[in-house]
Amino acid sequence: MTIKNLGQTPAYETSAWATVRVLDAEALDFSTKKSDKPAVGAIMGPGAETVVSRLVAISPDDFPAIQAGTKRIFVWGRAEYVDAFGKQRWFVFHQGSTRAQEAPGRWGIEPYGPGEQGN
């Protein structure tokens, strides 16, 4: 997941994190624990990007279930920062793998369930 500062001022104390899981295709329980949040925040200048990446191990049982559409790969997470005016800002995302493979063993991702929210 790429997060970009599209504003004209820096984002302070920026933290971003994500979780990746293989779940039932219609799952809606995307919990995030406070312990998932990185301890240190960084400054992101205008136009700066950060990539939040995670790996997921797909078990031999899950792979055919993903191919059949009964399971999907989900990624969800949160970004937080303090804007130039001292206001705490946040963005939450929920993505799921597409049902059709883009190539053997590769799926795209799309907004899923609660989608994206933020302030």
**Predicted confidence (pLDDT) at residue 32 exceeds the cutoff of 80:** no
Closest CA to 91 of 111, 107, 71, 106: 111
pTM score, whole prediction: 0.81
C-alpha dihedral, 62 to 64 to 69 to 74, nearest 10° = 30
Q: pLDDT tens, 70-89?
A: 999 999 998 999 999 999 99
Domain positions in the chain: 2-118
Could you give the 3-state DSSP secondary structure of residue 47?
coil
Closest CA to 14 of 85, 91, 75: 91
C-alpha distances (whole Å) from 71 to each of 26, 54, 76, 105, 113 are: 8, 18, 16, 14, 14
- Amino acid at residue number 54: R
